[in-house]
Amino acid sequence: MIDLLLPSSIAIGLITWSLVANWYVLPWTWSKSLVDALTPLLLLNALRYVGLAFLIPGVTAEALDPRFAAPAAWGDLAAAVLALIALLALRKDWSLASPLVWIFNVFGALDLINAVLQGLRYTIDGHLGATYFIPALFVPALLVTHVVIAIVQLRHNSTLHRDGATAPVLGERMCTCVDP
């Protein structure tokens, strides 16, 4: 039964954070510039240095399997640094800002997915100790932010290519069809 606690927590977290994103975050981003919409999402991901806690036996109940702990911790730190670099580029209006955001977003999402899969494979739930809340609460929120970042960037790009027309809100029709 204990083996189902973490996967269940992650699933419930993904559902809950997806609802928060759909009902509150995405509608808020539609009225913002790309910079203003992405800044808080990138700042949240800059906190991923917290994953280094997987390397600290005093924070975890037991020393965690290094096949999970090391890649998860260092991948989180790399993602945090990439988020800060992307944020700086975005706020300074560098020409590479958009590609840097995409690089961060793809790397960060893949790192989280890999960490979850390796954690479920190599780590016993009870050994996570206080770090249990990282995959149970923080990881679902971060995964959802990666989806939101992609949606915001794609929407912004489609807006730029439509001669000043605004992009549709989720749920609106993507085209105006003419009845015959």
- Which pLDDT score is estimated for 75? 97
Nearest to 78 by CA among 56, 111, 54: 111
CA gap 135, 51 in Å, rounded: 9
Is pLDDT of 179 > 70? no
- Domain-by-domain residue ranges, the chain? 2-160
Q: Are 168 and 176 in contact (CB under 8 A)?
A: no
pTM above 0.75, yes or no: yes
94-140 confidence digits (pLDDT tens):
999 999 999 999 999 999 999 999 988 888 767 888 888 999 999 99
Is pLDDT of 173 > 50? no
CB-based burial label for 102 (10 Å; 0-12, 13-18, 19+): middle
Q: Mean pLDDT, to the nearest integer, of 154-167?
A: 62
